[in-house]
Chains A and B, each alone.
Chain A
Amino acid sequence: MSERQIQLEVLRYDPETDREPRFQTYTVPCLNEWVVLDALNYVKDNLDTTVSYRWSCHMAVCGSCGMMINGEPKLACKAFIHEYPDQIRVEPMAHFPIERDLVTVVEDFITKFASVKPYLIPKEDKPVSAGEFKQTPAELMKFKQYTLCINCMLCYAACPQYGLVPEFLGPAAISMAHRYNQDSRDGGRDQRQEVIASHEGVWECSFVGACSEVCPKHVDPAGALQQVKVASTIDWYKEHLMPWSKK
């Protein structure tokens, strides 16, 4: 196994004691198959126990270790060292306040995510005895890709519009709303539309597409948002030009 020395530049910041963030460089002996998260763990275990960052699964499932790696939003567990030069700079996700070092404050996302009611709202109450909600493979295909979101927030770190307009509901929240709206078992679209068809909702999106480029699970949030725009536009014309049609 080949070993390689890298210079890992880590952004350090403690809002309570530091006036502004600074970079601290660690020399890390890496194995070729390591990911950036392994290098960070090496620093934490052997060089500096005070470095703070979030991680859990180490396999791109939990969505905890999102950070800027050489300026790009990435999961640290999915960013292979061999794809990078000898100098690697890690920073907390862009557009989020820093809690400490690489740890960001994510309350804004959590609030927005919850506001779109990201859960199944059945069309009618159905007793268990009435059996299961059936769904064809074709109906499943309509939304399956959007279920793969792991809430890692990389799309928010990538979205220039979210950086510009912090009120924007953002890619992941709207994609998740779309996921439930597209579900044949769901009847909650009207409730979600009140939030996502608002000005701070899907209409703040200018279709830059960076969200889909950085998404580690290939959810394609940009595609979801475009579909939401088309559906919301049809809604609008129906509501205003054909008020009798009752959506």
Chain B
Amino acid sequence: MATALGFQNLTLGYDRHPAVHHLSGEIGEGTLLAVVGPNGAGKSTLLKGIVGVLRPLGGKISRNDVNARDIAYLPQIAEIDRSFPISVYDLVAMGLWKRAGLLGGIGAKDREEIATAIETVGLRGFEPRAIGTLSGGQMQRALFARLLLQDARVILLDEPFASLDSKTVADLLELVHRWHGEKRTVVAVLHDFELVRQHFPEALLLAREPVAWGKTAETLSAENLLKARRMSEAFDDRAGICEDAA
């Protein structure tokens, strides 16, 4: 199996303080990977690093033949300004950025694709509504429609199912499985261990340092989880320079 993404002794962080510390490993193409761990463990940071928003403090991320345009990213819903006056249709249509870019028009075929994507996530009829009028679940459906349009080889999801009802989670999971079936690489940051065990064959347990990475059942063993929980969340202002930084 070809690798989609590789990490070599990767350290990511803010202001020189590591949030992901010395991570090494590979994500094979077509993998369905869950990234789990306590709050502050560096899960979102890792996704930001993969997208290229955050530069590594140390080590390296190799994307092989996956270039930036092949990566679709779903930010945490809290990072989105839902009071902005924009319609569901326009929000979803932004998934075509790769094709339309700054000025490109949106043609009949594109409009058809947008309609299909909106239909697939079950939001038909919501197109003209302002995103501010959507519920949390509907908003997440709209963002999944945007992901569908992005048609990317690598899909990164940051807490895609946070505070959603079971019906919405089930519907969106179906899309995740469909992507998996289409041999796309999916990396999702998740908190619900039960859901991870049921739906994600591979898991990475992060607690700033990688605790375990592999088959989900083995990664999420009681022993590993305990280890992850012991991670101190402290962000020590006087922390010394990391010795194995080289």
Partners in one complex: no
